[in-house]
Amino acid sequence: MQKIETVQQFEQLAETKPRFFFMKHSLTCPISSNAFNDYQAFLNNNREEEGYYLAVQESRELSNHIAEKFGIKHESPQAFLFIDGKPGWNASHWHITEKELSKL
């Protein structure tokens, strides 16, 4: 799992990776901490999947860019599955679980 901090890094991902998971993670929210743990567990148990994340407090510009570009209201925590550069799935808060991610 790799941390993405800039719009440029994200755009390069979206242009070059046909499928990847992405999470907006809050460093101060206990719900986000639980979701992030499940996200990490999912990626550790599914090594063929690629996963990235941002820390909302450190990358507000990128977080806002994703919300505006794709017309998906910002939430934190929030997870996405990007397919061909567009979100094919997204969920927030308690809906981000290893079980749900494994269904995708």
pLDDT in tens, 32-75: 999 999 999 999 999 999 999 999 999 999 999 999 999 999 99
Cβ pair 83, 19 in contact under 8 A: yes
pLDDT for residue 31: 96
pLDDT of residue 24: 98
Tell me how far apart the alpha carbons of residues 9 and 100 are, in angstroms, rounded to a whole number: 27
pLDDT the model gives residue 90 = 97
Sequence-ordered alpha helix ranges (H) in the chain? 7-16, 30-45, 60-70, 98-102
- pTM (2 decimals)? 0.95
The predicted structure's pLDDT at residue 2: 97
